[in-house]
Amino acid sequence: MTTDGSGPAALRSRVDEVLRRFVAEEAEQLVAIDPALEPVAAQLEAAVAEGKRMRAAFCYWGWRAVGQPDSDALVRAAASMELVHTAAVVHDDLIDESALRHGRPTAHIALRGAVRRRPRSVAAARSLAMLVGDLLMGLAGQLFATSGLPAAYLARARPLWSVLARELIAGECLEILRTGAEPDTTESLKVIRYKTAKYTVEHPLLIGGALAGAGARLREGYSAYGLPLGEAFQLRDDLLGLFGDPGHTGKANADDVRGHRPTALLAETWRIAGDDDREQLRALLGRRDLDDRGLHAVREVMRRLGSPDRMEAMITVRVEEALGALHDLNVPAPAAAALTSLAHSATVRLA
């Protein structure tokens, strides 16, 4: 049991409070420019209203695993990882034309109300959402820089931000470039690695470690733990995206099929499918008018071919690889316990 505010619930509460206060102040300053910006400011605050705060937790424990003590300034720096995530989510929902997130309208849908009487209102709402995402990414850097950590600490981690941004954008671009193409498992796993795995687990750990002055061996261990775990997280997300209950996931579960996105779930299904199954999938993938019957047909093909079980096996292998890498690291017991718990909570979940 922890007493320094590093337990899962306490840490999440601390990160929530940092984000709430910081973004509320930024939203207030935005509206002070012009009251017409109120809907945009509201989306800034909505973007940080919910979240598991896993990325902040990985950053925090990347710091603590070096042997550094609990620090409110570090919690602020770690919270910046969540702003990177919210920026990515707003942009991702826009790219994917997703209508729901956490059971609520996504930013580009919610902002239609602000421009409903304007020409090309749908395009205008999409443009506003894009700018919300851009602002959130900028605020991530601002929160990190003003966290209160010593300048020398921040300087050690600053180069990693460029790597994070480059690899995240590379993953998003690869997903767009490969959407609608013939499914390929290797290519899908590459998209997963760059679009999600790195910024969800590896980069937060490395940034926390860099802030704390982690050595080369520990940094290598962070990557050996973080990359397979991040991939497992996204494989779980893909499974939930199609087979999960929207009441739990808060997202429409036809999005990946309608968008013909390069998920590993689809790629593995395609790899083992025969000609008849492929013909059926071709007729359904990418259809914007796909109904429940069509979605059920895709699920049935996947179940019959054992695709969900293959995904579960891929998740298990990656979690075991991550935990094996963690076991090989000589980190303090509280950090080892926390990172073990995070590995399970990231990959064994309902939403």
- Are 62 and 71 a contacting pair, CB within 8 Å? no
CA 250 → CA 104, 115, 255, 276, distances in Å? 7, 25, 12, 33
Q: What is the pLDDT of residue 102?
A: 83
pLDDT tens for 32-60 read 999 999 999 999 999 999 999 999 999 99
pLDDT tens for 153-205 read 999 999 999 999 999 999 999 999 999 999 999 999 999 999 999 999 999 99
Tell me the average pLDDT across 9-22: 97
Residue 234 confidence (pLDDT) above 70:
yes
Q: What is the DSSP annotation of 252-305?
A: -TTHHHHTT---HHHHHHHHH--HHHHHHHHHHTT-TT--HHHHHHHHHHHHHH
Cβ within 8 Å of residue 237, ≥6 positions away: 196
Q: What is the pLDDT of residue 244?
A: 87
pLDDT tens for 317-328 read 999 999 999 999
Dig out the tokens for 62 from the structure: 């990347």
Residue 2 confidence (pLDDT) above 60:
no
Task: Tell me the pLDDT band of 251, cut-offs 50, 70 and 90.
Answer: low
Per-domain boundaries in the chain: 8-347
Tell me the average pLDDT across 17-43: 98
Question: What is the number of other CB atoms lying within 10 angstroms of the CB of residue 344?
Answer: 11
Q: What is the pLDDT of residue 1?
A: 44
pLDDT tens for 118-165 read 889 999 999 999 999 999 999 999 999 999 999 999 999 999 999 999
8-347: CATH topology: Farnesyl Diphosphate Synthase (1.10.600)
Q: What is the pLDDT of residue 351?
A: 55
Cβ within 8 Å of residue 24, ≥6 positions away: 45
Question: 150-158 long-range CB contacts below 8 Å, 24 or more apart?
Answer: 153/211, 153/212, 153/213, 154/77, 154/211, 156/210, 156/211, 156/213, 157/207, 157/210, 157/211
Tell me the average pLDDT across 286-308: 94
Higher pLDDT among residues 245 and 74, named by residue = 74
Q: What is the DSSP annotation of 174-230?
A: HHHHHTTSPP-HHHHHHHHIIIIIIIIIIHHHHHHHHHHT--HHHHHHHHHHHHHHH
Cα 103 to its chain centre, rounded Å, is: 17
pLDDT tens for 206-220 read 999 999 999 999 999
Q: What is residue 25's three-state secondary structure?
A: helix
- Are 114 and 131 a contacting pair, CB within 8 Å? no
